[in-house]
Amino acid sequence: MTSAKSDKLSDSHRGDMLNLTSLLLATAAFLSAADNDAVLARVAAHADRFGVVSREIWETPELGFHENKSSPLLQQELRANGFQVVAGVAGMPTAFTATFGNGKPVIALMGEFDALPGLSQKDVPMLAPAQAGAPGHGCGHNLLGSASALAAVAIKEEMQAKGLKGTLRYYGTPAEEGGGGKIYMLHAGLFRDVDAVLAWHPGDSNRVNMSSLLANNGGRFRFYGVASHAAAAPDRGRSALDGVMIFLNSVEYLREHVPQETRIHYIITNGGSAPNIVPAFAEANLVARNPDAAVLAGIWERVMDCARAGALASGTRMEFEQGTNYSNVLPNDALTEVLGRAMQKAGGYEYTPGEKTFATELQKTLGGPVRSPGPEKVRTDMSEGTGSASSDSGDVSWVVPTAQFTAATFVPGVSAHTWQAAACAGTSIGRKGMVVAARTLAVAGVELFENPSKVKAAHDAFEKRLDGRKWSTRIAPDSKPPMDYATK
């Protein structure tokens, strides 16, 4: 259903540098690309609408598990286009599945829509929060969820037109930025019948390859000491902050003696209440990452030893609360090949003069070498490597054949989780990248429905990469989703 409200952008964003007019121009460029592939025409026919949807989600950034407007908006669009929506799955109010068709094969697309804390930003090439301290779409998930939904609608129409058999399913997965909605959906068995997952992520290039993502693990380390007057009776106090400091200093020494590609980062979320009181409570939030989940498990034991050392040395007590735990991505050779060909067919895009100006201005804020202001050309190959982020789509890739790619929603040089990325995600540049993603997903999806041998190849490639290993996670199967993860 198309609501009148969602058809227009809020007044507060009128007059911003890149508005809906340039979105329409962008879509026209795709339409005039004169391809006669039916599914690409179907993407083009719905691109404006989902561009508006992506912008609306961008204007109302919501934190993980609290996507109370973004998730229903995507549900509504899919329902209006003939999908059967089941909302509130796996114990998460904003998680949903949207299904069309029945029987085999079952091909799935992934949609994320959560924002990041503190990255509120207008669609301008200088730091300008829309609302100071508020969340923002610094990872472009407003585009992620919308592109996959756009592709789903196009594939569904193509299935109907060609009488293609099988099930097409869109997974609305909350809290990718922490909390890991997909893991609870996996535990609930919602991916059990799926043959292949096609996924994508916003980035600064149009790129298909076999790149993986880092496994990560993290959580909160709480130290409990004894409060006392910091000057009059320090001998009677036991400082929880000392515990945190010794813990984190130990981690700094540990950093030298772990594999080079490891990442460890932390914040102190509570360091006491006043310097003249020996802190009875202190807390650190730490995340560690490595390309290999098994290697990370070993490193994590040593991180835990550092925390125990902090407690022992400071005479405090330490408690650990498990946070996000994502697996590295298991690439899929057969699906990557399908996606690579699909992206070649989808093609890239050009900047308008206004977009070029925006890109140049934005790149000036990045520092470092001057980059080309234009979007990168489509690059597809079978090279392997590890991207420097983590995602719960990694966990899905250990259970179901999965492949993912990036589309150039951000200006070249812009990395995710920045105000620059949040700015791009609200502009026509973001929406052009979104359409590249949808076109790629749509062509690949139709190919899988048309060719059962490709689905079989994806399964074989999956088994080969798995090599007898099984998905494992520290998130217990019966645990409840941490609904306050992003807000506490």
Which residues of the chain form contacts with Zn ion (CB under 5 A)?
Answer: 139
Of 72, 56, 70, the closest CA to residue 4 belongs to 56
Q: What strands lie across the sheet with 317-326, from one edge to the other?
A: 263-270, 281-290, 215-224, 317-326
CB of 394: closest distance to Zn ion in angstroms? 12
Nearer to Zn ion, 39 or 139 (CB): 139
Reduced to 3 DSSP states, what percent helix, strand and coil does the chain have, rounded to the nearest 5? 40, 20, 40
Cβ proximity to Zn ion, 166 vs 394, nearer residue: 394
Minimum distance from residue 216 beta carbon to Zn ion (Å): 13
> Of 139 and 411, which CB lies nearer to Zn ion in the complex structure?
139
Closer residue to Zn ion, CB minimum distance, 67 or 447: 67
CB of 389 to Zn ion, least distance (A): 7
Question: Please, which residue, 57 or 139, has the CB nearer to Zn ion?
Answer: 139
Q: Which residues pair with 167 in a beta bridge?
A: 101, 106
- Minimum distance of Zn ion from residue 6's CB (angstroms): 23
Q: In this complex, which beta carbon is closest to Zn ion, that of residue 241 or of residue 416?
A: 416
Please report, as a single letter, which amino acid is at residue 392.
D
Nearer to Zn ion, 139 or 152 (CB): 139
Residue 305: both structure tokens together: 């030893």
Helices (H), 32-180: 38-59, 70-80, 141-162
User: What's the closest the beta carbon of residue 202 comes to Zn ion, in angstroms?
Assistant: 7
Query: In this structure, how many other beta carbons lie within 10 angstroms of the beta carbon of residue 120?
Result: 21
Q: Between 77 and 392, whose beta carbon lies closer to Zn ion?
A: 392
Q: Of the two residues 113 and 462, which places its CB atom closer to Zn ion in the complex?
A: 113
CA distance 88 to 41: 33
Q: Which is nearer to Zn ion, 145 or 225 (CB)?
A: 145
Shortest reach from residue 470's CB to Zn ion, in Å: 26
Rounded CA-CA distance 86/97 in Å is 5
> Among 149, 141, 151, 148, which Cα is nearest to 175's?
141
Class of residue 222 by CB neighbours under 10 A (exposed 0-12, middle 13-18, buried 19+) = buried
Tell which phi-psi region holds residue 347, choosing left (phi > 0), alpha (psi between -120 and 50) or beta.
Answer: left
Of all residues in the shown chain, the one whose CB is closest to Zn ion is 139
SS (H, E, C) 343-407: HHHHCCCCCCHHHHHHHHHHHHCCCCCCCCCCCCCCEECCCCCEECCCCCHHHHHCCCCEEEEEE
Choose among 447, 485, 460: nearest CA to 344: 447
Distance CA 358, CA 394 (A): 33
What distance separates the 2 farthest-apart alpha carbons in the chain? Answer: 82
Nearest distance from C-beta of residue 141 to Zn ion, angstroms: 6
Compute the distance between CA of residue 19 and CA of residue 13 in angstroms, rounded to an integer: 8
Alpha-carbon distance of 185 to 171, in angstroms, equals 9
> What is the closest distance, in whole angstroms, from the C-beta atom of residue 441 to Zn ion in the complex?
16
- Please report how close the Cβ of residue 422 comes to Zn ion at its closest, in angstroms: 12
Nearer to Zn ion, 116 or 318 (CB): 116
Shortest Cβ distance from residue 485 to Zn ion (Å)? 15
- Shortest approach of Zn ion to residue 391 CB, angstroms? 6
